[in-house]
Structure 1
Amino acid sequence: MIERNLGSTERVLRLMGAIILAAWVALRDSHDVLTPLALLVATALTLNFLFSRCYLWALLGFNSCEHDEKGCPPPRQQ
């Protein structure tokens, strides 16, 4: 399992994005190829919010977690 790599601000932004995507899908009249894709992205963003982890960020080496936040790993030594 990867360490926590999302800060509080980014977590809230991801949850807001998930809510917007889910509302967009719910308010649409037609459902096409974009519907399952939008729901998949909304689900991924919600899971990122809940667990404070993003596997894409881990793969790319990004970390927006502030090291003084609870549960954040200490900075890596060079």
Structure 2
Amino acid sequence: MATELGRAARRVGPVHRRAVRPVLQLRRLRVCEPRAGAVEAAAVLAGSGGASWAVALRLEHRRGTWLCTVLDVL
């Protein structure tokens, strides 16, 4: 997963602090709670040059902490 995220970050390009528009833009975010102690979220991110990514994740509350059990980046 770290390799895929690193590859995606390189495609976006360097961050310019003075840029008017952010390099990545959140297009859509959906969150649901399928059962108590579990949260699922899906997001669509758009980058410069028309690039876009979808991210899906599941968090579960276990033993007093939140654990990411699924993380998919497309």
Query: What TM-score results when the alignment is normalised by the length of structure 1?
Result: 0.25
Considering fraction of residues, name the structure with more helix: 1
Structure number with the bigger relative contact order (C-alpha 8 A, sep ≥ 6) is: 1
More strand by share: 2
TM-score using structure 2 length: 0.25
